[in-house]
Structure 1
Amino acid sequence: MRTPGVSTKKRMVASLIAILVILGGIIIRLGYIQLVQGGDLQAKALDQWTSDLPVTAKRGSILDRNGQSLAQSASTDTVLLRPNQIKDGDAEETARVLADLLEMDYDSVLEKVKDKSKGEIWLKRQVEREVVQEIKSHNLKGVAFSVDSKRYYPMNNLLCQVLGFVSVDGNGLSGIESKLNKYLAGTDGRIVSEVGADRQELPGGTEQYVEPIDGYDVVLSIDYVIQSFAEKHLDEALQATGGKKAMAIVMDPSTGEVLAMANKPDYDLNDPPRNDSELLQSLSRNSCVSDVYEPGSTFKIVTTAAGLETGVITKDSTFYCPGYQIVDGQKIKCWRHYNPHGSETLTQGVMNSCNPVFMEIAGRLGKEKFYQYIDAFGFGKKTGIQFDGEEPGILMGIQYVKNVDLARIGFGQTIAVTPIQLTTAVSAAVNGGTLYEPTLVREVRDQDGNTVESFVKSSKGQVISAANSQLLREMLEMTVKEGTGRNAYLPGYRVGGKTGTAQKYEDGKIVSDKTIASFVGFAPADDPKIVVLVVVDEPTIGDDHGSQAAAPYAKGIIQDTLQYMKVQPQYEDGENELATVEVPDCIDLDITSAAERLRAKGLSYTQDGVGGTVVDMLPKPGAVMEEGSIVLLYMSEKDDDTKLDEPVHSGDEVEVPNLFGKSIADCEKELAGRGLMLDASGEGVAVSQEPNAGESVSVGSKIKVNFGTGQ
């Protein structure tokens, strides 16, 4: 037997090493494939021989406090393509049918139909069931369907900024839809089935169905009937005043629950302007919680409450109004500086909305005590309402507050609030003194109606005493009966409230011709069931004061809501139920004829335009209004160069009536009957006029009248 030579041994060793290296490489490669790439390869393999279609969970509904659906989901389908199952000769016909029925571009659909590189393509989501049935009737190969869901809003525009909207995928993008998305969304299910290389289901193959878990229902504190009242009267306010936007909140002061929250202008939730992001952002903004403004005289409620609670004033405290007050060398005028209020009690000061009275109260409080109550009422911080994007308002740091700043804060300047802050604070001031965290969401329920989570808020503490709250209610009721809030007076109902007319700033400077008009009221005054705030931003038609541009529309909301709540009117001695009349048709009439026709019905008017004939009117002919109400007439001619103090219609000479002591509504009624127009300034009753009573002027002339409140 021959012994291998040295060279042979070396070759054998080299071969063995080579084999070991190759085996080692194979083992390493197999280990890498199995351990590192195994999961990915297994997933790819699984994808090749299984079809995994999602089953969209049904999104929970959003309901009002009485169970009325405000947002709901309906079952739809997703249309899918499996190009490998579509024969080349059938591609054009398949694309044509799908493009026609799905209202899609033919070339785009054809491109997807011919794309053999993809096993499955989502063609269109949220397709209505009747369309799907039509597609199925054509027996198209390579077309599949998956269960989907689409969001519907039965009330269209109603509560749109609060509800918000969802994406095509069903995720909340704004409003309650976004805030409570984790409750509403649910968990999607899936259908998993075995398929062959051509993506067709295998005969006898297994199929697994994972059932989706539907979302929970969300119950709001909103009452959709009261919401509809608020939106109706805001529409009227915008049309009548030419305002930039308007907001309204109705709150139950005994719980802090929001019964209505409205913003105008608005949009249809079923057709949001998704292609115009700037417009969509503007229209979907909930200004009631996200925008701040100077509250003006409505803030005097807080100043009065703080003064009463600290004892620096009492109901019988007396003040003197010379028409202004000098603070830190600055002369701050009363709104009725041209005819000072003179001596007045606290009640008269509230009724008169006299600025020097509230500057005096703020001075007596001092910044430390005043800020203590401003904080206690919830200003300068978020209220905690269940809504994203809430602003805390703007409150000057106490260390920077000078006496002149303190004086201005006393009557609602140099401080900015949100509508929800003010409504919450006023609710505390009149409900007996308890501050509640405002509530927009009551609870979350499962599909069986069981409560999953409750959001009812508890008290945040006693801000003022019940006795001082009652005293404040009485003064604010007198303000509506006899003071600056008379346009919110409702025969048979005890209404309290306060008007506000605030200045606007641009680039840090006051804009002289832009204001924010507001009114906050409550009823019944002895036991408030509702607090109503109406804010009109930049009214441009007629009087821009809160008494004219906001109070009448808050009155409408209060009246409708109390009647809906079945609160029966209780008429006092000498108080009569308001008579109602039908609005006559004034279209195509000149201003004189229209005025005569309205006067015959006991109605007065204001107009948009300076001559010609009436081309439109608000309310429309045939509508029912209370006697003494104001009808807005839109004239055919509009001349921006015509001055307000020039005659707007030539014609016969008429005698100017004596307007002293009459309300704005009565003055408008009196002048309309003579074919004249009112140019009003101030609030309350007529204290001076120009031209004087007895003078002769042309029909259509404007009569300048200053309004104030007698002691």
Structure 2
Amino acid sequence: MISRDSEKYKYSNFTTRSKNLSRTCLFFMLILITRLYQVQVIEHKKYEKTLVDQVEATYSIMGNRGKILDFRGKPLAYNSNLYTVAIDPRRVYKFETAMNALEEIDKNHIKIGYRALKKKLPSLSESKYKIIAKNVEEDKKEEIEKLIKEKYKLKHNEIFFQKKGNREYYRKEIFSYLVGITGFTKKSKDSKTGIFGVERKYEKYLRARTITKKDIFTRSRFMRLPTASDELEISANGKNIYLTIDYFLQYILNEEVKKQFDNTRAEMGLGLIMDPNTGRILATSIFNKSPQKNLKNQIIQSQYEPGSTFKPLIVAAGMEEGLISPNDTFDVGDGKIVRHRHTIRESSRHTKGILSTEEVLKKSSNVGMVLISDKFSNETFEKYLEKFGLEDRTKVDLPGELKPYMQHYNKWDGLKKNTMAFGQGIAITPIQLATAFSSVINGGVLYQPYVVDRIAGDDGVVIRRNTPQKVRRVISPKISQEMRSMLEHVVADGTGKNAAIDGYRIGGKTGTAQISSKGGYLRGEYLASFIGFFPANNPQYLMLFMFLKPQADIYYKKFGGSVAAPVFKEVAKRIIKYNDILPGDVEYLGDSEMEFPENSSNEPLVEMPDLSGKSAREVLKILGKLGIEVKISGTGLVDSQWPKKGTALEKINKVKIHLK
């Protein structure tokens, strides 16, 4: 029998143990709670970072700078990429498949020092990044990428690439002053930025972005987890800039300007082709004797006294204001006139007597222009300079355009208006002259010139398109028509006859400007120029040519009619061939009305026909219906073709022809 004391002792002992156990449990619970609080609250960021480091991988994707292309899509500035090859040692270490891939890369593709790398990996097992090769070219990169993805099925950036973009330029010696270049600046020490030309003007569109991307893995790091960001496709590439420049016109212009630049031993030669009805710049060409000037776009950054190419602007202004008419006459006497104790002479001793307004332009009479300018007040004269856009920049979409060198009419001396009438005493850029002249012959409207047609992404979606911007009406359509007629006569039987092309209606004006210096005008040195357009009845092309200080044994061989007008003729002839432009006296028929001897029988073509002697237009007419792509080189008529005549058409999807 157990006594009550004994039972009381047992109960007391049990209670004591229970209390001790409870206290112990409570103690450990307090420790656990304290630890949890420490981990989850006090040291939360520390442990979160540790977890993120274990399951997240962050890397950067560098996009490509946008391309600059001509109107047809020919790249003029593009990227040639080199790559750095790197590994993530944490993923590669103890991963046999990745190690096998590295071994094969070292053996068959690029040397990465596999054996030395294998020995170092244990000490790099906590590192995220290790470079194993630099300056790997695109084709090698693609080989290695195909190997690791297709053969070794590596999908989690065990081996990865980092891009280093090189900017390349097509025919840099021709396009650099327009397209521009990239380089490092104080604001962009880590990456190149546009510092000249289109590269600079459109930097915000062209520049590439660097995108940071994260991958999330299981703790073993051998399985990548899908995330919402996988659905988000963000392009890091810059936008592509399509110029209004037509490479084929550029090629023609460049070749002819260079030829005359060399022949005349000039200090500078330039050419410009515009659409006078829109302000689109279609081609530009600049050559300099001094290589230091090759990066200067002299079409917008150099000022010249234009000389006689300026005269049509003043004649048009006088006619618009009602001060003169085409049939008005002016007595230029013996070829000289005195104004404010200065004698102004004709450039040719044969320019004498009574001249009509049209003859003043045809014979390029300086004295006649002085007499015309006498009819203007200073205020009216300046009003038209402003209307022609010659008191401000044209706002062409290129950086660095100079403002015309002009003074307010209140500051003019008595001679200023008279000399400006024949293109002296005013300094403007070639683009300003071409833009103003366009308004004389296009119906009377001044347009803002532009060199960029559109901006698009890699997917071809256009995000911006430049359209013709009308600045103001300068003269009426009637006066513009009369000016075209008078300027056509300048080419037909005036100083511009060296620009004439048989069967085609050409208009234009020569210029032979004296070159000013600190001590006055240089003796025997000229800026020879010609500005012309065609077809004269409906101008589609306006072209300006300038040659600075051309050399010749006979002084008049340095004049615009002898130096620049022939270049216009040669360029225009090649454009006519290139575009199959019909003569002005032949009615143009649309494609639906034109007949070509493409197939004399009613049977469908089954063999490649003989294309020799045909124009590009005829070839496209014949083969276009068959869905065959035609690649054309040269100008003129078909000289050679591939595939040859008689080849079965069912085997052909592309044809190459050379024109000569």
TM-score higher than 0.5 here?
A: yes
Percent identity reads 29
* RMSD value, Cα: 4.4
Tell me the equivalent position of 2:162.
Answer: 146
Q: Look up the equivalent residue of 2:75 and give its one-letter code.
A: S
Aligned length: 508
Q: 1:262 to 1:126 in 2, by over 3 A?
A: farther
| Aligned equivalents of 1:376, 1:524: Cα separation in 2 | 25
Q: In the alignment, is the contact (CA less than 8 A) between 1:159 and 1:227 conserved in 2?
A: no
| Aligned equivalents of 1:371, 1:502: Cα separation in 2 | 21
Tell me the equivalent position of 1:253.
Answer: 276
Alignment match of 2:177 (pick from 134, 137, 161): 161
Q: In the alignment, is the contact (CA less than 8 A) between 1:435 and 1:461 conserved in 2?
A: yes
Tell me the equivalent position of 1:128.
Answer: 137
Structure with more of its chain in helix, by fraction: 2
Deviations, residues 394-449 of structure 1 (Å, cap 9, x unaligned): 11221111221111000000001111111111111001111111121122223333
Tell me the equivalent position of 2:563.
Answer: 549
Unaligned stretches of 5+ residues in structure 2: 1-37, 92-105, 112-126, 148-157, 185-190, 587-634, 637-660
Deviations, residues 294-320 of structure 1 (Å, cap 9, x unaligned): 100000011111111111111111111
Q: 1:341 to 1:217 in 2, by over 3 A?
A: same
SS in 2 for 1:365: coil
Q: 1:550 to 1:125 in 2, by over 3 A?
A: farther
Q: Look up the equivalent residue of 1:181 and give its one-letter code.
A: E
Superposed counterparts of 1:431-510, under 5 Å: 431-507=442-518, 509-510=520-521
- Superposition deviation, residue 512 in structure 1: 2.0
Superposed counterparts of 1:222-241, under 5 Å: 222-241=245-264
SS in 2 for 1:298: helix
Alignment match of 1:341 (pick from 352, 356, 381): 352
Q: In the alignment, is the contact (CA less than 8 A) between 2:535 and 2:584 conserved in 1?
A: no
Q: 1:409 to 1:46 in 2, by over 3 A?
A: farther
Q: Look up the equivalent residue of 1:492 and give its one-letter code.
A: G
Q: 1:45 to 1:472 in 2, by over 3 A?
A: farther
Q: In the alignment, is the contact (CA less than 8 A) between 1:55 and 1:148 conserved in 2?
A: no
Tell me the equivalent position of 1:323.
Answer: 335
- Superposition deviation, residue 202 in structure 1: 6.5
Deviations, residues 248-295 of structure 1 (Å, cap 9, x unaligned): 1111111111111222249xxxxxxxxxxx96x632221111111110
- Superposition deviation, residue 461 in structure 1: 1.8
Q: 1:559 to 1:84 in 2, by over 3 A?
A: same
Alignment match of 1:389 (pick from 400, 421, 436): 400
| Aligned equivalents of 1:556, 1:54: Cα separation in 2 | 53
| Aligned equivalents of 2:278, 2:51: Cα separation in 1 | 60
Q: 1:508 to 1:203 in 2, by over 3 A?
A: farther
Tell me the equivalent position of 2:197.
Answer: 175
Tell me the equivalent position of 1:702.
Answer: none
- Superposition deviation, residue 75 in structure 1: 4.5
TM-score computed with the length of structure 2 as normaliser: 0.67
| Aligned equivalents of 1:119, 1:410: Cα separation in 2 | 74
Q: In the alignment, is the contact (CA less than 8 A) between 1:150 and 1:170 conserved in 2?
A: no
TM-score computed with the length of structure 1 as normaliser: 0.62
| Aligned equivalents of 2:234, 2:528: Cα separation in 1 | 50
Tell me the equivalent position of 1:312.
Answer: 323
| Aligned equivalents of 1:128, 1:283: Cα separation in 2 | 31
Q: In the alignment, is the contact (CA less than 8 A) between 1:79 and 1:125 conserved in 2?
A: yes
Q: In the alignment, is the contact (CA less than 8 A) between 1:318 and 1:344 conserved in 2?
A: yes
Q: In the alignment, is the contact (CA less than 8 A) between 1:480 and 1:487 conserved in 2?
A: yes
- Superposition deviation, residue 497 in structure 1: 0.6
- Superposition deviation, residue 230 in structure 1: 1.0
| Aligned equivalents of 1:58, 1:160: Cα separation in 2 | 20
| Aligned equivalents of 2:467, 2:567: Cα separation in 1 | 29
| Aligned equivalents of 2:53, 2:512: Cα separation in 1 | 67
In the alignment, structure 1 residue 568 sits paired with structure 2 residue 577: no
Superposed counterparts of 1:597-636, under 5 Å: none
Q: Look up the equivalent residue of 1:179 and give its one-letter code.
A: K
Tell me the equivalent position of 2:70.
Answer: 64
Q: In the alignment, is the contact (CA less than 8 A) between 1:444 and 1:451 conserved in 2?
A: yes
Tell me the equivalent position of 1:595.
Answer: none
Tell me the equivalent position of 1:404.
Answer: 415
Q: 1:414 to 1:187 in 2, by over 3 A?
A: same
Q: 1:419 to 1:48 in 2, by over 3 A?
A: farther
| Aligned equivalents of 2:308, 2:355: Cα separation in 1 | 17
- Superposition deviation, residue 342 in structure 1: 1.6
Q: 1:376 to 1:482 in 2, by over 3 A?
A: same
Bigger Cα Rg: 2
SS in 2 for 1:521: strand
Q: In the alignment, is the contact (CA less than 8 A) between 1:190 and 1:212 conserved in 2?
A: no
Superposed counterparts of 1:563-602, under 5 Å: 563-570=577-584
Q: 1:391 to 1:445 in 2, by over 3 A?
A: same
Tell me the equivalent position of 1:219.
Answer: 242
Tell me the equivalent position of 2:17.
Answer: none
| Aligned equivalents of 2:257, 2:389: Cα separation in 1 | 26
| Aligned equivalents of 1:490, 1:216: Cα separation in 2 | 42
In the alignment, structure 1 residue 540 sits paired with structure 2 residue 551: yes
SS in 2 for 1:427: helix
Tell me the equivalent position of 1:642.
Answer: none
| Aligned equivalents of 2:532, 2:432: Cα separation in 1 | 15
Q: In the alignment, is the contact (CA less than 8 A) between 2:351 and 2:363 conserved in 1?
A: no
Q: Look up the equivalent residue of 2:161 and give its one-letter code.
A: F
SS in 1 for 2:542: strand
Q: In the alignment, is the contact (CA less than 8 A) between 1:504 and 1:514 conserved in 2?
A: yes
Alignment match of 1:262 (pick from 285, 292, 302): 285
| Aligned equivalents of 1:241, 1:123: Cα separation in 2 | 57
SS in 1 for 2:182: coil
Q: In the alignment, is the contact (CA less than 8 A) between 1:245 and 1:263 conserved in 2?
A: yes
Q: 1:54 to 1:341 in 2, by over 3 A?
A: farther
In the alignment, structure 1 residue 372 sits paired with structure 2 residue 386: no
Q: Look up the equivalent residue of 2:62 and give its one-letter code.
A: T
Q: 1:300 to 1:79 in 2, by over 3 A?
A: farther
- Superposition deviation, residue 328 in structure 1: 0.9
Tell me the equivalent position of 2:114.
Answer: none
- Superposition deviation, residue 165 in structure 1: 2.2
Q: 1:486 to 1:135 in 2, by over 3 A?
A: same
Tell me the equivalent position of 2:532.
Answer: 521
Q: Look up the equivalent residue of 1:64 and give its one-letter code.
A: D
SS in 1 for 2:446: strand
| Aligned equivalents of 1:328, 1:224: Cα separation in 2 | 50
Deviations, residues 128-184 of structure 1 (Å, cap 9, x unaligned): 2245579999xxxx9973034343444554433211123384532221122112122
| Aligned equivalents of 2:572, 2:49: Cα separation in 1 | 64
| Aligned equivalents of 1:178, 1:398: Cα separation in 2 | 36
